């Protein structure tokens, strides 16, 4: 495996780059001009809340000198490359009437300056907000653990919940005045702490002097552990004994409540010794439309495969790949560690093992074929055994959509499919599968005694032998596979 050499690892120390904070201006002063923030040396880096001895830099230079690292595979094995941090949170001491304009200005400058090394699938996200605790006119945060929530009201899909104990929740990390810290679509890492001196996302009941980092670093071998679920790490930022003594212990996940991971924060108190300082629960997706890693209670749909149209708006698909996480489930959240990819091109399907970093043939695990859907063909990938995940069925007639999610209200959209499936066209352009669907429902479904009631809006199909029939309005019994948009599903746990 091609990894950076020792000097690269020192320069790109992921723990040092978990969350960088730089401030511009002095307390009580006016905010510097927008152009000055980008081009002029007005920013001073801080560490553990204190200014460093580094010279002042412009935001352009800060991003250029403090880069992350990524491993890419261009066909000849993984290679490390420098990448800029493109998720930036800006907290200001006063409310800015032009906050969104500032965000767009910075995003445009970053895209122009670092165009050749920005992942187009991730892009640039800037979140600008007023802080109620600001110690300087402007504070900018970037690094491995910084995620900039999208402007415009999109609600987070998941939650990080700070708890006093297993039964008492006391809140979530908050960014600025009132923005939930996470978890948002596409978010793979999240740093939070007690103070804005360390991270933009804060909660007052966390231990002082410590950054808590949820997720994995780019070159972290622990991605093979913990069943693909995100890890929580305590990173002390001061030499104080209390901060140095903070530890995080992974606990068993409760069977109910939709919790994906649970952690306990341990510390030392005088005359008491090691004690529990609280807990952290992680819910990757709290929407009813989420993909479950284990079969949920009651009637649900098991995902047996995929049915991807071979043409989208006149563009012909060249190939697609499916990312899987632990247990062979679809990688429905960027917080999950990838296990392998299934690459499908025509009737050829190969598996790329991300732990062994090599391709292998399917070996009977799955098959790919082309099937007619009313004279429009689709590439159908079917597992020979097992499932790609499970979807809880609504009890009432519910519209099902696969396009990008616009809110977290109601049942939600199956936009998590975009984390797992990418489609490449003959032009070489690659797009997330959810971005290829609009916001219109493909149909309506509901759990009924003995089956699932469906009402097709044009994209629900009964899967037969090498062809599919429109479902129309009917009740599909258990153990009968059918196609719901791009998913091949089957009813399980049906009530008699």
447-460 residue pLDDT tens: 999 899 999 999 99
Residue 468's alpha-carbon distances to 74, 304, 319, in angstroms, are 37, 16, 21
For residue 163, tell me if it sits in a domain: yes
> How many Å separate Cα 411 from the centre of its chain?
19
Tell me the pLDDT tens digit for each residue of 220-279: 544 445 578 999 999 999 999 889 999 999 999 987 788 999 999 999 887 778 899 999
Of the listed ranges 115-119, 196-200, 343-347, 422-426, the one predicted with least confidence: 115-119
In a domain, 265, yes or no: yes
Same structural domain, 396 and 264: no
167 shares its domain with 221: yes
Q: Which two tokens stand for residue 436?
A: 């290829």
Is the backbone peptide bond immediately before 285 cis, with ω within 30 degrees of 0? Answer: no
Query: What is the number of residues in the chain?
Result: 496
Pairing of strands 125-130, 87-92: parallel
- Same domain for 357 and 265: no
Reading phi first (left if > 0) and then psi (alpha if -120 to 50, else beta), residue 238 is in beta
Together in a domain, 343 and 468: yes
What is the distance between the alpha carbons of residues 392 and 190, in angstroms, rounded to a whole number?
27
Asked if residue 289 is part of any domain, the answer here is: no
Say what the pLDDT of residue 4 is.
Answer: 46
Contact residues for 485 (Cβ-Cβ < 8 A; gap 6+): 400, 402, 414, 437, 442, 459, 460
Please compute the mean of the pLDDT values over residues 46-61 and round it to a whole number. 89
Tell me the residue range of the domain where 79 lies: 6-283
* 261 and 337 together in one domain: no
What mean pLDDT comes out for the span 407-424?
Answer: 86
- HSE (CB half, 13 Å, CA atoms) of 106? 27
Cβ atoms of 396 and 446 within 8 Å: the answer is: yes
Residues 206, 331 share a domain:
no
Q: Which residue has the higher pLDDT, 322 or 357?
A: 322
Tell whether 81 and 188 lie within a shared domain. yes
Of 48, 52, 78, 76, the C-alpha closest to 65 is 52
Same domain, 325 and 354: yes
Q: What is the mean pLDDT of residues 403-430?
A: 86
The domain boundary, picked from 236, 257, 283, lies at: 283
Q: Which residues contact 166 (CB under 8 A, 6 or more apart)?
A: 254, 279
- Is 293 among the domain residues? no
The stretch 11-23 carries a mean pLDDT of 86
Q: What is the pLDDT of residues 141-172, one digit of tens each?
A: 999 999 999 877 678 999 999 999 999 999 99
Q: Are residues 223 and 328 in the same domain?
A: no
- The last residue of one of the domains, among 283, 316, 331, is 283
Query: For residue 75, which of 358, 319, 340 has the smallest C-alpha distance?
Result: 358
Task: Say yes or no: 277 and 338 in one domain.
Answer: no
Strands (E), 292-347: 300-309, 311-312, 315-324, 340-345
Indicate whether 310 and 416 sit together in one domain. yes
264 and 310 together in one domain: no
Higher-confidence residue of 247 and 3: namely: 247
Say if residue 303 is exposed, middle or buried (CB neighbours under 10 Å; 0-12, 13-18, 19+): buried
Q: Do 158 and 282 form a contact (C-beta atoms < 8 A)? A: yes
H or E element at residue 458: none
Among 283, 309, 335, give the residue marking a domain's end. Answer: 283
In a domain, 1, yes or no: no
Question: What pLDDT is recorded for position 236?
Answer: 95
Per the domain annotation, does 457 fall within a domain? yes
- Tell whether 78 is covered by a domain: yes
d(CA 475, CA 455): 9
Number of domains making up the chain: 2
- Among 177, 486, 462, 166, residue whose Cα is nearest residue 320: 486
Q: Which of 441, 446, 442 is nearest to 460 (CA)?
A: 442
Residue 295 inside a domain? The answer is: no
């Amino acid at each position: 495996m091609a990894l950076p050499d020792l000097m690269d690892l020192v320069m790109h120390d992921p723990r040092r780059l978990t969350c960088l904070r730089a401030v511009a201006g002095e307390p009580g002063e006016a905010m510097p001009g927008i152009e000055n923030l980008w081009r002029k040396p007005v920013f001073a880096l801080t560490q553990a809340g204190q200014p460093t001895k580094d010279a002042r830099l412009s935001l352009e230079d800060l991003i250029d000198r403090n880069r992350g690292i990524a491993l890419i595979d261009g066909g000849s094995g993984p290679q490390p490359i420098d990448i800029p941090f493109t998720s930036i949170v800006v907290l200001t001491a006063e409310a800015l009437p032009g906050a969104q304009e500032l965000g767009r200005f910075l995003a445009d400058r970053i895209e122009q300056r670092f165009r050749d090394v920005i992942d187009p699938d991730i892009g640039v996200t800037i979140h600008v907000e007023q802080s109620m605790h600001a110690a300087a006119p402007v504070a900018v945060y970037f690094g491995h653990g910084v995620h900039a929530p999208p402007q415009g009201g999109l609600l987070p899909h998941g939650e990080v919940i700070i708890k006093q104990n297993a039964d008492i929740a006391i809140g979530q990390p908050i960014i600025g005045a009132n923005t939930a810290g996470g978890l948002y679509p596409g978010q793979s890492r999240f740093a939070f702490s007690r103070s804005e001196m360390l991270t933009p996302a804060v909660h007052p009941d966390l231990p002082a002097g410590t950054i808590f980092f949820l997720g994995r670093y780019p070159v972290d071998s622990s991605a093979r552990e913990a069943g693909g679920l995100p890890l929580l790490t305590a990173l002390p930022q001061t030499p104080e004994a209390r901060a140095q003594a903070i530890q995080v212990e992974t606990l068993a996940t409760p069977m109910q409540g939709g919790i994906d991971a649970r952690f306990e924060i341990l510390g030392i108190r005088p005359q008491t010794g090691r004690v529990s300082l609280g807990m952290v629960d992680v819910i990757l997706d709290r929407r009813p439309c989420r993909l479950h890693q284990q079969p949920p209670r009651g009637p649900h749909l098991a995902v047996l495969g995929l049915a991807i149209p071979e043409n989208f708006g006149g563009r012909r698909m060249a190939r697609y790949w499916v990312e899987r996480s632990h247990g062979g489930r679809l990688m429905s959240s960027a917080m999950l560690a990838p296990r392998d990819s299934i690459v499908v091109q025509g009737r050829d399907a190969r598996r790329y093992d991300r732990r062994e970093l090599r391709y292998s043939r399917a070996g009977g695990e799955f098959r790919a074929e082309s099937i007619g859907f009313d004279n429009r063909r689709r590439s159908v990938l079917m597992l020979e055994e097992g499932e790609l995940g499970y979807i809880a069925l609504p009890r009432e007639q519910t519209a099902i959509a696969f396009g990008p999610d616009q809110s977290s209200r109601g049942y939600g959209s199956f936009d998590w499919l975009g984390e797992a499936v990418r489609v490449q066209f003959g032009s070489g352009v690659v797009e997330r599968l959810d971005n290829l669907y609009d916001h219109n429902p493909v149909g309506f479904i509901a759990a009924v005694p003995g089956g699932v009631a469906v009402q097709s809006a044009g994209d629900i199909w009964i899967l037969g032998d090498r062809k599919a029939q429109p479902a129309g309005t009917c009740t599909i019994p258990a153990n009968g596979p059918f196609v719901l948009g791009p998913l091949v599903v089957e009813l399980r746990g049906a009530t008699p």
